[in-house]
Amino acid sequence: MFKGKWIPYFQGVFTCHAPVKVHLDVQSSLPYSTFSVYNNDTGKQMPQVYNAHITFHFEPNDHGYTIMGHGTLNEAPSAYTEVQWQLTVLSSTADVFHICDSDMIESCRELPLPQSSKMHIDEIFIPNRRNILGGMQISVQREEYISFRAAATLPELEMEAILSTTLSEGGFQELGRCSGTGVLQWPYIKLESAHMPYSLRRAKTRSATSHANLTSPCPYWRTLTHAGFLTMFNLPSPFKAPRESVFSSARSLKTPRGPKASTKSKSMTKDKNKTEELYQPQPGDAYVELECSLAVGGGSQAKRDDERELQFAAERKSWDVFEPGRNLRGAQIRKEFRAEFLEALTPPPSESSQTVAEEIYEELEGEGKTFELSTESEVESTYLTMPEQLKDKFEPLYFVPLCTKEIESIRVTLTPGMLQAAVSTRNTNIEAALQRMSELQTYNEAYVLGRQKYRCQLLEKLFVDSQWKLELNQALEERDDAIAREVLQRSLSATKKKMEAKKK
């Protein structure tokens, strides 16, 4: 049972003992299913036509061939989905291409094809300086081949995944990276046991509408035809290190990582569980889906990367030592932030929606009466139940049960007195609204328009001629008129002379 649009079926390493041609076919209960074949020596995918019955030519190699199969859905299901699949392998020579425990065909023992186990994390985005969305930690006991996928709620969000390993000296080394827009798909990642953890980090988000691009470790994309599914090819050989564990997280490359603590306090574990329960994604939230596909029984384990939260918890404990009371103020700020942005509150009903039927229904409900429903009424009640997803989008109609159920015990008769009381209440509300409107108009004329008029008068007094006497203004106007008349007469006389000169 898997959650999400991407459902991995299987991922196994097949050993080739001799040159052979093999047909592969995947059948599933999902309408869209496909598989991919990778050469573990080169890290490249063997060419194939998408979602077709293909013949591959295999040659013996050192690390075998990895075959991964998965299915896709157009929309994420509302609940966990169970899928049935079947892989058919047809080879021209028997017992030369299969999953076994030895490279020698004489001493090998055939093993079953391991199924895929998907780790699904819904990581809500909490603003931070490095724009980190989230991450995973993967511990590997032996050579392992995994797939990674990330999908954001914003289809135009450009994301980047970074695969890195922590060195024994305390630093870390980047092994590869992959970027995409909206959906990030990294289908083939080869990991080996090491003293140093691998980190699959997701950071550096930025708004963009460009197509997905890859850096040097992921040279190019191949875009598939169904539902914009992206597949990545031609990965380089992975970093080799001694045996220990491999981790995958989502951190910036500028922050050094210290050694992992072997034990954790119970308080930190409780705080982490409370945090995970508190920040469950709601519709409309900014969050990202992180998914990692592992082989069942392959010796790999994946978990959510909580190192940043543990560091923050340790730092928060040390704040009170230097600045007493800081944690209490921070808790109050976080509580206000969650109440305003994260918790979906049901909007209260407006006063205008209150009706007589609603008031009567509330009175009947407050009296504590219990109603015994028959079998027919219980069947009818199923059609009156509103889904959980729609409760926040519609106002409750309390009078619907009174109009749809004919039960003597809850029948209500509207008397003329009740109607008269409703009319008088409505008239009172109208008069109060008119009175309020007149008060607002008076306030507008006195304080809004009046202040604007006063401001205009003050501005007029700032003009140059605002302080001159009336006689001076008249004299200046007469002077301007005389100058204008003189200029007009000169222009007319000059025009007249030109006309007379043309006639001569």
pLDDT in tens, 440-459: 999 999 999 999 999 888 88
Helices and strands, counts by H and E, the chain? 9, 19
Pick from 152, 161, 186: nearest CA to 70: 186
Predicted local distance difference test score (pLDDT) of residue 410: 63
The CATH T-level fold of domain 1-114 is Jelly Rolls (2.60.120)
Q: In percent, how much of the chain has pLDDT > 90?
A: 14
Of the pLDDT bands very low, low, confident and very high (cuts 50, 70, 90), residue 387 is low
Query: How far is the C-alpha of 350 from the C-alpha of 363, rounded, in Å?
Result: 19
Which has more pLDDT, 412 or 386? 412
Determine the CATH number of domain 117-256+276-305: 2.60.120
Mean pLDDT, rounded, of the chain = 72
- Every domain of the chain and the residues it spans: 1-114, 117-256+276-305, 351-398, 413-463
With a cut of 50, say whether residue 181 has pLDDT above it.
Answer: yes
> What SS3 state is found at 483?
helix
Would you say 251 and 132 are in contact if contact means Cβ atoms under 8 Å apart? yes
Instruction: Summarize the confidence of residues 74-103 as an average pLDDT.
Output: 81
Pick from 41, 37, 91: nearest CA to 61: 41
Query: How far is the C-alpha of 4 from the C-alpha of 170, rounded, in Å?
Result: 36
Predicted local distance difference test score (pLDDT) of residue 148: 92
Paired residues of 189 in beta bridges: 146
pLDDT in tens, 234-244: 223 233 333 33
For residue 473, give every residue at least 6 positions away whose Cβ sits within 8 Å of its Cβ, in sequence order, or none.
465
CA angle 124, 126, 130 (to 5 degrees): 120
